């Protein structure tokens, strides 16, 4: 009976030793897994940081592009308004010219000022008198809703 107890004690000791070894192994595995998880978390954090930085760069780039596009659109709108204004004024000038039987060119020396040069005619030998009709745009800058009453016609004569 004492031998059986000794055998049982030896088996229990061996099993406990094995359990301790298993626990030590498990602790080592858990430690390694935790270390790997920390490395994975660090890597994920680094990747997320890089992605966020890239996104910030993309957002900055997009903002710069949008700003440039808006500036270009503003320039296009200003140009379109100027062209429309010129067309409206030239149409009014053509109407004035028609009323005065004018067939000459329309001269535009500065924005908002349109001159109609009437073909010269002789007043006495060596001198010519040119009636000049000056159309002054009374609308504001970029105003593309000009009407005929917003265009003032001044007339004067110029000796050449």
Distance CA 26, CA 53 (A): 40
Beta strands in the chain (DSSP E): 106-110, 113-117, 121-124, 127-137, 151-159
With cut-offs at 50, 70 and 90, classify the pLDDT of residue 72: confident
d(CA 156, CA 23): 112
Reported pTM:
0.31
14-28, 59-73, 141-155: least confident range? 141-155
């Amino acid at each position: 009976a004492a031998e059986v107890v000794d055998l049982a004690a030896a088996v229990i000791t061996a099993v406990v030793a094995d359990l301790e070894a298993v626990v030590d192994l498990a602790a080592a595995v858990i430690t390694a897994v935790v270390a790997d998880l920390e490395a994975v978390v660090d890597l994920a954090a680094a990747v997320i940081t890089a992605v966020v930085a890239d996104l910030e760069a993309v957002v900055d780039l997009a903002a710069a592009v949008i700003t440039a596009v808006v500036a270009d659109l503003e320039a296009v709108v200003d140009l379109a308004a100027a062209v429309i204004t010129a067309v409206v004024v030239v149409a009014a000038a053509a109407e004035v010219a028609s009323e005065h039987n004018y067939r000459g060119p329309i001269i535009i020396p500065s924005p908002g000022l349109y001159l109609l040069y009437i073909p010269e005619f002789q007043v006495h030998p060596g001198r010519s008198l040119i009636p000049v009709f000056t159309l002054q745009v009374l609308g504001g800058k970029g105003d593309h809703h000009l009407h005929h009453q917003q265009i003032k016609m001044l007339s004067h004569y110029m000796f050449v």
